Amino acid sequence: MKIAHAFLASLLLSSTVQAQDFYKGKVISIITSTGEGGSYDGAARTLARHMPRYIPGAPTIVVKNMPGGGHTLATNFIYVTAPKDGTTIGTVSNSMPMHQLVDGRGVRFDVAKFNWIGSVGLSNLTVTYWHKTGAKTLDDAFNREIIMGATGTGSGTFLYPNALNKVLGTKFKLVTGYRSSTEVDLAMERGEVEGRGGASFSTVYQEHADWLKEGKLIIAAQIGHERDPMMKDVPLVSEFAKSDEARQILHFLSSPMGVGRPYIAPPGVPADRVELLRRAFDATMADKEFMDEADKQSLDIRPMKGDVLDRLIQETVKTPPDILAKVRSAIEINESK
């Protein structure tokens, strides 16, 4: 028995040493499903500057933007194409698990099979209007058409306004085709669209603190399970539900906020390298220099460990079929992919 335990210990030690040696002289790519700018991109670039100190071998980390397809382009790339050796990780929209379950258009991944590394923060999403529309609250969207800019059907910019139309009866008109949320914001300034859904409050605050201060951007409602302390006077969309079924659907649609801004590695990465990346991620989240830089960029950092994140994802994919059927029916998602 002692010999067996000693043999097992030697195998584990050998595996750890190999993982530590692997990254020497390597380059790790962080694929982000957004364009340049915004909280996802900003957090990824800040992480890339500090995380190498906590990876044995001190590899270089570079960020590569891959927007498109409402975040499915990058998510598919990480799952299907990216190397399965721990040299590619990614940060993708937290709506991807929900998109896979209730829609599935463009999906070539299975969120349950990703290696979840960790999350840099939790933040409720928002429904915002440009000040020139004259709209102030979600109630205004029940009485008049409001044009909302969106990227792809898998993104929160499309999913949430569309869901509110179907579940609550708002009159958002969705204009799709923008390559990134930054383009949607520029379209608001140009007067092409009147608002945007699905942006996290941390993103809005980071990118447009001046718009909020000057009253150019109106936060009409927030999407989450509880009101964010930073927006305590802004109602949750679930507060507008008129039935238990509507509240149930909106609760499920709010599930991505519990995931925050997640980091993933492809399936098939050796377990010892996944564990090494998780430890390095956690150490970076506690690093003073990282946090100081994040504060300067107004990045909202509320980290979550990879194993906790993985459990949340596994619970989400086990959502009962009857609930998913209600969500699909309520937001009129075509069952044929």
272-290 pLDDT, tens digit per residue, is 999 999 999 999 999 999 9
Which residues make Cβ contacts (< 8 Å) with residue 15, sequence separation at least 6? Answer: 270, 272
**CATH number of 39's domain:** 3.40.190.150
pLDDT of residue 11: 42
202-216 pLDDT, tens digit per residue, is 788 878 989 999 999
Q: At 37, list the tokens.
A: 């700018």
Residue 229 within a domain = yes
99-140 pLDDT, tens digit per residue, is 899 888 899 999 999 999 999 987 799 999 999 999 999 999
Asked if 249 and 268 sit in the same domain, the reply is no
Residue 226 within a domain = yes
Considering all CA atoms of the chain, what is the largest pairwise distance in Å, rounded to the nearest integer? Answer: 76
Residue 312 CA to residue 84 CA, distance in Å, equals: 23
Residue 134 within a domain = yes
Residue 4 within a domain = no
Among 201, 236, 256, the domain-final residue is 256
Q: At 191, list the tokens.
A: 């007067």
Asked if 79 and 113 sit in the same domain, the reply is yes
Instruction: Print the SS3 string covering 308-326.
Output: HHHHHHHHHHCCCHHHHHH
Q: Which amino acid is at 149?
A: G
Asked if 129 and 247 sit in the same domain, the reply is yes
Residue 62 within a domain = yes
Give, in degrees to the nearest 5, the angle at Cα 299 between 228 and 51: 130
Asked if 135 and 219 sit in the same domain, the reply is yes
Exposed / middle / buried, residue 55 (Cβ in 10 Å: 0-12, 13-18, 19+) = buried
List 156's β-bridge partners, or say none: none
Asked if 102 and 142 sit in the same domain, the reply is no
User: 327 or 310: which carries more pLDDT confidence?
Assistant: 310
Asked if 106 and 142 sit in the same domain, the reply is no
Number of domains into which the chain is organized: 2
Which backbone phi and psi does 229 adopt, to 5 degrees? -55, -30
List 65's β-bridge partners, or say none: 32
pLDDT of residue 260: 87
Residue 172 within a domain = yes
Residue 13's pLDDT band, with cuts at 50, 70 and 90, is very low
**Closest by Cα among 180, 178, 156, 186 to 41:** 180
Asked if 117 and 131 sit in the same domain, the reply is no
Asked if 129 and 118 sit in the same domain, the reply is no
The pTM of this model reads 0.72
Asked if 66 and 46 sit in the same domain, the reply is yes
pLDDT of residue 329: 79
Which backbone phi and psi does 90 adopt, to 5 degrees? -155, 160
Asked if 231 and 299 sit in the same domain, the reply is no
Asked whether the predicted pLDDT for residue 258 surpasses 90, the reply is no
Q: Cβ–Cβ contacts within 10 Å for residue 156, how many?
A: 28
**Closest by Cα among 84, 95, 47 to 266:** 84
Asked if 108 and 141 sit in the same domain, the reply is no
Boundaries of domain holding 53: 15-122+260-326
**CATH number of 163's domain:** 3.40.190.10
